[in-house]
Amino acid sequence: MTDYTKIKQQLLDRKSKVEERIKKHFQEEQSRTLSFSTGELSQYDNHPADTATDLYEREKDFALLEQLEREHEEIEHALAKFNEGTFGFCESTGEVIPYERLEANPAARTVVARAEHNVTNDRPSEEDVLDGFERFNYDNNDKETEFDAEDAYQSVAQFNENSMVFEDSSLDENGELIGYVEEIEGFLSTGIDGYTGDEDVVFQRNVHYDQYLNGK
């Protein structure tokens, strides 16, 4: 029969350290107000960013406390198994847990093959745009009608303070009409009153007009 005396002592030592940390650093934290923790008489006159920093640190402390409490529960569970005579056996398969695994993790409940690996496959949403906006440019795909990078630019460009209507301003190095939905918008214009009839529409003899005539 395997001697787990050393493992049990590891659990007892760790339990003592965890309980000491909880008592020393977190026992009174749960009952304290944010003002008490920061030393401020009032949060009213504080800048929101300062208050946010204090709140973040407080939330981090609670997260650390929760982690310690969870570890304490696992240690208590492992010690209880010594009294039941089931320590060292996998709770899922009943197999003997390798001694090396228990040395590394005395509170292990299962063999490695049955361990729960809380690793998520979710990736940050920011990774969707790390390749640049060209990844979302569907101008050359006749079957795609998705809102693409050019559409996004056009939606934002309407808030520009500058008109951006000088010659070639809306052409990129590839000759694509950036800033217009329809090609004719690049060389048709009206007066300050907007469209009041076909007779008020003016043709701008610019590069957009030349491209339109050449069928590009």
The pLDDT-based confidence of 173 (bands split at 50, 70, 90) is very low
Position 39 scores a pLDDT of: 59
Report if pTM > 0.85: no
| Contacts of residue 133, Cβ cutoff 8 Å, sequence gap at least 6 | 149, 152
Q: Write down the pLDDT at residue 171.
A: 47
Closest CA to 87 of 178, 20, 4, 207: 4
Structure letter (DSSP) for residue 22 = I
- DSSP lists the bridge partners of residue 189 as 202
- Residues in CB range of 155: below 8 A, 6 or more apart: none
- Give the pLDDT band (50/70/90) at residue 97: very high
pLDDT at 117: 65
Residue 208 near residue 165, CB atoms below 8 Å: no
Is the Cα torsion angle 50, 52, 55, 57 positive or negative in sign? negative
pLDDT band at 109 (very low <50, low <70, confident <90, very high): very high
Please say if the pLDDT value at position 88 is more than 90.
yes
pLDDT at 163: 56
Of residues 212 and 36, more confidence is placed in: 212
Q: Domains along the chain? A: 5-114 (1.20.120.910), 133-214 (no CATH)
Residues 107, 78 contacting (CB under 8 angstroms):
yes
- What is the helix (H) or strand (E) element at residue 155, kind and residue range? helix 149-157
pLDDT digits (tens, 9 = 90+) for 116-157: 765 667 777 777 766 665 666 777 777 777 777 677 777 777
What average pLDDT is seen over the chain? 77
Q: Is 160 buried (19+), middle (13-18) or exposed (0-12) by CB count in 10 A?
A: exposed
